[in-house]
Chain A
Amino acid sequence: MLEIADVATAYGKIEALRGVSLSAGKGRITCLLGPNGAGKTTLMYTIAGILRPRRGSIRLDGQEIAGLTSANIVARGLVLVPENRLVFAQMSVKENLEAGAYQRRDAAGVAQDIERMYARFPRLQERREQLAGTLSGGEQQMLAVARALMSRPRILLMDEPSLGLAPKIIEEVFSIVKDLNRDGVTIFLVEQNAHMALQVAHHFYLMEQGRVTFSGEPGKLAEDEVIQRAYLGAKRAGA
């Protein structure tokens, strides 16, 4: 569904991505692991059209999306739940959901989907008139996911959904990820929490210093080393 080939992205002269290739299969949960600074968030922003790649190709269902605007990419069915959630803090929960549907023109369908989100996330319904900035971290994460789903994505990208959340909430977030996937949403997930991620992923990649260095399926022998490298980076893993 999502195919990335030899993507390089740079901030000025510093290359954060140095030729990344990977793919996320339709209907699956694909997970990208890696230590801090490996370039995971840069990759997510590059796919979502916020950053422009210097070279390489990003294909969504066979169509090139590298270089398109983020608005265009959302319209094509790819949406990112960003790191730190980035909810619209001064807008109500309901307005956040409406904003998530910005690219849609079917008002009736949008209203229906808002109700659907309330059914899936009852906490959001309770707080629908509350400003999003007043929600707890876990609730904001739910809202960020619901807001993204409002665009009716074919593939959902999630960047560190567990960041800064309590362990119990993290479990809730991952069970939502599994639920969504069961409902047919393709998921491409970036996580530092390798233990949790490997429990839900069908396939994973390990990224270090701007490159994909390992890929495989959870439950295989190499898992321990991957987890170690995901947390610590390659250099110290051997020590």
Chain B
Amino acid sequence: MIDLIQNTLDGAMIGSSYALLALGFTLIFGTMRRLNLAYGPTIMAGAYLGTYAALRLGIGAVPVALLVVAGAALAGLYVERLCFRPFGEGAAITSMISSFAVWMQIEEAATLVLPQHLNAFPPLVAGAPITLGPFFFRLDHLLMLVVAAAAAALVHGVLHHTRFGLGVRTVIDHKRAAELVGVPVMRTLTLAFVLACAIGGLAGFLIAASEAQITPMFGMWATTKGLIAMMLGGLGSLPGAIVGGLALGVIEAHAQWLFGPLVRDLIAWGLLFAVLAFFPGGLLGAREAGQAAALQRRV
């Protein structure tokens, strides 16, 4: 029983960063209605910038975090300009394929900058785990949960209490209607895209810092984790992204404990398969199921 609870707590803490990953992914998908495969690689680009600066300049965790977020946002702007802005809404496949090409580009660039496959990433905090009765918590995982929750709350606040957020929500709901009420749709799309990549960058920093290492494969890893968490929660649903991320973390933690690390990823994919087979709209996506169906028709 104690193990069960411990695993659930551990899973939720890791899951909080998955939730953040999925939140950024969903923000792009919700506004653009297109899949950005280069999402993980843009995060990896930011993380590489951070680790490069840490290795060369020896800066601490907070400036590294800022660099990672800024790097991911910049790389995101590059992806948006190259793969999304030039193509209209009907060109979902074009955007997806070109974002795949940019993925390869970023991976190559990362290996040119730091040729070793594995690079050290500065850890967030050092220190002994906190024990609380029979449970114990890694400090960096606790901090991950706190930062991710604060970031999610901030994003919620921006979406619901700012003019920009109102614009984003109208664009997610109906792009043409958003234009008609006077929302500058193009600018809103670009800003939302960059914001999404910055959120992903923060998630990437938290994950890389807790693993204390980074490889160019981190891009693919982040895209797949974000994608699975997003699909679990429901395509295009922001609360769903949070739920999906947490669920993915918890399920992975239990799978790893029960069956070992190799089975962990297998379970994640199996879960995705099961959800898509039985709840095509995702766990929170019943409301959005119609939209998802509309998207399938388009793609």
Which residues of A does B touch, CB under 8 Å? Answer: 48-50, 69-71, 73-75, 79-80, 82, 86-91, 95, 98-100, 102-103, 147-148, 151
A89 B173 Cβ-Cβ under 8 A:
yes
B174 A147 Cβ-Cβ under 8 A:
no
Q: Is B86 an interface residue (CB 8 A)?
A: no
**How many residues of chain B have a CB within 8 Å of chain A?**
18
Complex contacts, B173 vs chain A, CB 8 Å = 88-91
A71 B183 Cβ-Cβ under 8 A:
yes
Q: Give the complex CA separation of A49 and B179 in angstroms.
A: 9
Q: Give the complex CA separation of A151 and B172 in angstroms.
A: 21
B181 A69 Cβ-Cβ under 8 A:
no
A50 B163 Cβ-Cβ under 8 A:
no
* Least distance between A222 CB and chain B CB atoms (Å): 34
* Least distance between B141 CB and chain A CB atoms (Å): 34
Q: Is B138 an interface residue (CB 8 A)?
A: no
What 3 pairs across the A-B complex have the smallest Cβ distances? A74-B182, A86-B177, A103-B182
Partner of B181 from the list A89, A90, A151 (CB cut-off 8 Å) is: A151
Which of B169, B178, B181: most chain A CB closer than 10 A?
B181
Q: Is B57 an interface residue (CB 8 A)?
A: no
Q: Give the complex CA separation of A212 and B62 in angstroms.
A: 65
* Least distance between A127 CB and chain B CB atoms (Å): 17
Complex contacts, A87 vs chain B, CB 8 Å = 174, 177
Q: Give the complex CA separation of A91 and B183 in angstroms.
A: 15
B170 A88 Cβ-Cβ under 8 A:
yes
New A-B contacts (10) at CB < 8 Å, excluding given A80-B180, A87-B177, A90-B173: A50-B176, A69-B184, A82-B176, A86-B174, A99-B169, A99-B183, A102-B163, A102-B166, A151-B181, A151-B182
A71 B176 Cβ-Cβ under 8 A:
no
Complex contacts, B172 vs chain A, CB 8 Å = 90
Complex contacts, B216 vs chain A, CB 8 Å = none
Cβ-closest chain A residue relative to B237 = A90
Which of A49, A79, A90: most chain B CB closer than 10 A?
A90
Complex contacts, A100 vs chain B, CB 8 Å = 181
In the assembled complex, 30 residue pairs joining A and B whose CB atoms fall closer than 8 Å, in A order, are: A49-B179, A50-B176, A50-B179, A70-B179, A70-B182, A71-B184, A73-B182, A74-B180, A74-B181, A74-B182, A79-B181, A82-B180, A86-B176, A86-B177, A86-B180, A87-B174, A87-B177, A88-B170, A88-B174, A89-B173, A89-B174, A90-B172, A90-B173, A91-B170, A95-B169, A99-B170, A99-B183, A148-B181, A151-B181, A151-B182
Q: Is B167 an interface residue (CB 8 A)?
A: yes
Complex contacts, B178 vs chain A, CB 8 Å = 99
Complex contacts, B287 vs chain A, CB 8 Å = 90
Given contacts A90-B287, A102-B163, contact A70 B180 (CB under 8 A): yes
B180 A102 Cβ-Cβ under 8 A:
no
* Least distance between A26 CB and chain B CB atoms (Å): 22
As a 0/1 sequence over residues 182 to 201 of chain B, the CB contacts with chain A under 8 angstroms (1 = contact) are: 11100000000000000000
Complex contacts, A70 vs chain B, CB 8 Å = 179-180, 182
Complex contacts, A90 vs chain B, CB 8 Å = 172-173, 287
A82 B177 Cβ-Cβ under 8 A:
yes
Q: Give the complex CA separation of A90 and B166 in angstroms.
A: 13
